[in-house]
């Protein structure tokens, strides 16, 4: 049986129907991703950091995809929402492994692809906490960041642990969305957007910072 990509999805507290603006706050807070993307683009432009520029472009795509999902609320829009997030995770993993951990190009590619089996193995861990709901799917990403934080040292380790803490907080707000509907009709999903826009911008920003510091040391 083929999937109906036009089927509509009611997944968030704020949505009270299937009109285009049925989730106005969830839709409009995606501007934060565009702002984050613009900031990263300005930081990276002309610095010889193509992977950072690519991160900025993906941030724009995340904002657009999430906006589409929170307005059209269909399966095809859901795919447009999640695909750019996965691309960012893979892109940053490759950039960090190759440039920050100084691995060879083939090794960086292999480690990046290892995210998929890691996600399959780690996914059931999220089910230990049923209150996470659909947010359990992001636990493997949290653990993936934790692995990089453990492998890093010095300031780089602190940068990864900061990202780990931000994502943990972001996942918490995402998982609370349906649970607080009775007390807070707008839900908390919009906080997931705001925190994630800052979080992804944080990862791209410290990648740029470390890369520029390395260039300065090399003269």
Give the pLDDT confidence of 131-147 residue by residue, as tens digits.
898 899 999 999 999 99
At residue 128, the pLDDT reads: 83
The residues pairing with 74 across neighbouring beta strands, listed in sequence order, are 8
Sequence spans of domains, the chain: 24-217
| Banded model confidence at residue 1, pLDDT cuts 50, 70, 90 | low
Exposed e or buried b per residue across 86-107, where buried means at least 16 C-beta atoms within 10 angstroms of its C-beta: ebbbebbbbbbbbbbeebeeee
pLDDT in tens, 27-49: 999 999 999 999 999 999 999 99
Q: Is the dihedral of CA 75, 81, 82, 87 positive or negative?
A: positive
pLDDT in tens, 150-200: 999 999 999 999 999 999 999 999 999 988 998 999 999 999 999 999 999
Residue 53 pLDDT exceeds 90: yes
Structure tokens at 197: 């826009």
Q: CB burial class (10 A; 0-12, 13-18, 19+) of residue 31? A: middle
At residue 99, the pLDDT reads: 98
Contacts of 134 (CB under 8 A, 6+ apart): 11
Other Cβ atoms closer than 10 A to 65: 22
pTM: 0.96
Determine the Cα–Cα distance for residues 152 and 161; give it in Å rounded to an integer. Answer: 10
Q: How many CA atoms lie within 13 A of 208 on its CB side?
A: 23
What DSSP state is assigned to residue 218?
A: T
pLDDT in tens, 81-126: 999 999 999 999 999 999 999 999 999 999 999 999 999 999 998 8
Structure tokens at 173: 């707000």
Structure tokens at 115: 């995210």
Determine the Cα–Cα distance for residues 188 and 172; give it in Å rounded to an integer. Answer: 9
Determine the Cα–Cα distance for residues 108 and 93; give it in Å rounded to an integer. Answer: 8
Q: ∠ at Cα 9 (3, 15), nearest 5°? A: 170
């Amino acid at each position: 049986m083929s999937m109906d990509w036009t089927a509509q999805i009611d997944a968030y507290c704020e949505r009270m129907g299937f009109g285009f603006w049925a989730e106005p706050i969830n839709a409009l807070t995606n501007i934060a991703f565009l702002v984050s993307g613009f900031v990263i683009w300005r930081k990276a432009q002309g610095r010889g950091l193509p992977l950072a520029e690519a991160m900025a472009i993906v941030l724009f795509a995340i904002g657009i995809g999430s906006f589409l999902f929170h307005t059209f609320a269909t399966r095809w829009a859901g795919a447009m929402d999640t695909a750019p997030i996965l691309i960012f995770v893979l892109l940053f993993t490759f950039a960090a492994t190759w440039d920050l951990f100084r691995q060879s190009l083939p090794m960086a590619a292999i480690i990046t692809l290892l995210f998929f089996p890691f996600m399959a193995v780690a996914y059931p861990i999220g089910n230990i906490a049923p209150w996470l709901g659909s947010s359990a799917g992001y636990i493997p990403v949290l653990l993936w960041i934790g692995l990089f934080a453990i492998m890093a040292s010095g300031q780089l380790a602190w940068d990864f642990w900061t990202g780990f803490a931000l994502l943990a907080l972001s996942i918490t707000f995402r998982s609370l969305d349906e649970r607080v509907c009775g007390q807070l009709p707008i839900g908390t999903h919009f906080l997931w957007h705001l925190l994630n826009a800052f979080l992804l911008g944080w990862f791209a920003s410290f990648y740029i910072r470390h890369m520029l510091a390395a260039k300065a040391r090399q003269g």
